[in-house]
Copies of this chain bind each other. A is one copy, B any other.
Amino acid sequence: MASTPKSKPATAEDVAELAGVSRWTVNRAFKKDASISKRTLDRVMKAAARLDYAPDLLAASLASDRSNLVSLLIDDFANPHKLVMLEALTRVLGAHGLDVLLVNTASQKDTQDALRTARQRRVDAAVLIGSQLSDDLIAQAKGTDHIGKLIVFARLSSEVQAVSICVDDRSAMAVMTDHVLSGGYSRPLFLAGPQTRSAHLLRQQTFVEGWQSATGFRPEDHVVGSYDPRQAYRQVTSFLKGCPEDSWPDVIVCENDALAVGTIDALRHEFGRNVPGDLAVTGFDDTPQAADQSYQLTTYRQPISAMAEALAQVVLGQRDEVGLDRFTGELVIRRSA
């Protein structure tokens, strides 16, 4: 129907000719401000429709130095929460006219590459949603200076070159700590994810110190190598197998839901324990699984959509970059603790 199939796409020039105007007028017609008369605009749009014309974003980016592209770097696809974030980010950024470049940075080299291509594609921002090594990578990254903006999403970064968009881990974990304290448990265990930099230990630190100052006892902790439910399953299993029966925890506070889900499974299937009957467990993130009847996980829900919204505004330069690491979510109390 429209235009000539199999041929090259129409350009502003073609439309201009058909509409009887200059091609600059055509380009203007496709911008929001559009200082153009209604009549010519109509004519242009009609011609454009007939030729199935749409402005070339490559040429536009090249000329304007704004790509409306954001690249998302993810190094961990084992945590189901990543899918939730991707959904929110693509939805919200898309609504703002920003396209998303998704990059799998499973290896360190990949992250360097990703940052380099991000620059080569002139992305307006590179967003790290990685769990691991973010800070080290940012610090090392060559060419970081030419990337529009460097943003760490859903994780606090201590790197000054980057801006963090995340919840206030300290206050979030304080709320969780209070809840756990009110449960009357006496032997808590904190299950942490991969240890990288100091900023990442905030949840653990907040819980441990909060508990200690309230009870006088310093909780145990254990570290899992990645935010993967299956790995948590294995590590929790071997850890608890090494624990004398009488020194078992009665509540396991996990750094996030991925760890919590693996923990609950291990407790059930490796040790035949009930949650919360024999042992309580808490998470962080409120992934879809957390709400399942099988888990009914007490957790903390981050305002992902609002955070994504903030990200969009930062990228578009419509928002001040202060307070972005102070988002507040809410405690979701279910049956697991």
Give min CB distance, A153 to chain B, whole Å. 15
A37 on the B face (CB < 8 A): no
A142 on the B face (CB < 8 A): yes
**Chain A to chain B contacts (Cβ below 8 Å), 17 pairs:** A8-B146, A54-B119, A57-B120, A57-B121, A58-B122, A72-B102, A80-B83, A83-B83, A94-B104, A94-B110, A99-B103, A99-B117, A100-B103, A229-B292, A230-B291, A233-B293, A265-B293
Q: Are B57 and A62 in contact (CB under 8 A)?
A: no
A91 on the B face (CB < 8 A): yes
A243 on the B face (CB < 8 A): no
In the complex, which residues of chain B have a beta carbon less than 8 angstroms from the beta carbon of A82?
83
For chain A residues 70-94, which have a beta carbon within 8 Å of chain B? 72, 74, 77-78, 80, 82-84, 86-87, 90-91, 94
A174 on the B face (CB < 8 A): no
Interface string of A283-294 (1 = CB under 8 A from B): 000001001111
A2 on the B face (CB < 8 A): yes
In the complex, which residues of chain B have a beta carbon less than 8 angstroms from the beta carbon of A56?
62, 120, 122
Among B3, B67, B84, B293, the residue within 8 A (CB) of A269 is B293
Bound: A230/B291 CA distance, A:
9
Q: Are B91 and A104 in contact (CB under 8 A)?
A: yes
Bound: A2/B90 CA distance, A:
34
Q: Are A101 and B103 in contact (CB under 8 A)?
A: no
Which A residues have a C-beta under 8 Å from some C-beta of B?
A: 2-3, 5-6, 8-9, 52, 54-59, 61-62, 67, 72, 74, 77-78, 80, 82-84, 86-87, 90-91, 94, 99-104, 106, 110, 116-117, 119-122, 142-143, 145-146, 229-230, 233, 265, 268-270, 288, 291-294
Q: Are B106 and A91 in contact (CB under 8 A)?
A: yes
8 tightest A-B CB contacts, nearest first: A90-B104, A77-B87, A269-B293, A102-B102, A57-B120, A5-B145, A83-B83, A58-B62
Give min CB distance, A104 to chain B, whole Å. 4
In the complex, which residues of chain B have a beta carbon less than 8 angstroms from the beta carbon of A74?
90
Give min CB distance, A296 to chain B, whole Å. 10
Q: Are B78 and A90 in contact (CB under 8 A)?
A: no
Give min CB distance, A290 to chain B, whole Å. 12
Nearest B residue to A74 via CB reads B90
Bound: A160/B206 CA distance, A:
58
Q: Are A101 and B104 in contact (CB under 8 A)?
A: no
Given A57-B122, A58-B61, 6 further pairs, Cβ under 8 A: A8-B146, A9-B119, A56-B62, A58-B122, A72-B102, A229-B288
Give min CB distance, A334 to chain B, whole Å. 13
In the complex, which residues of chain B have a beta carbon less than 8 angstroms from the beta carbon of A59?
62
Nearest B residue to A55 via CB reads B120
In the complex, which residues of chain B have a beta carbon less than 8 angstroms from the beta carbon of A58?
58, 61-62, 67, 121-122
Nearest B residue to A85 via CB reads B77
In the complex, which residues of chain B have a beta carbon less than 8 angstroms from the beta carbon of A291?
230
Bound: A55/B233 CA distance, A:
45
Q: Are B54 and A120 in contact (CB under 8 A)?
A: yes
Bound: A58/B121 CA distance, A:
6
Nearest B residue to A114 via CB reads B94
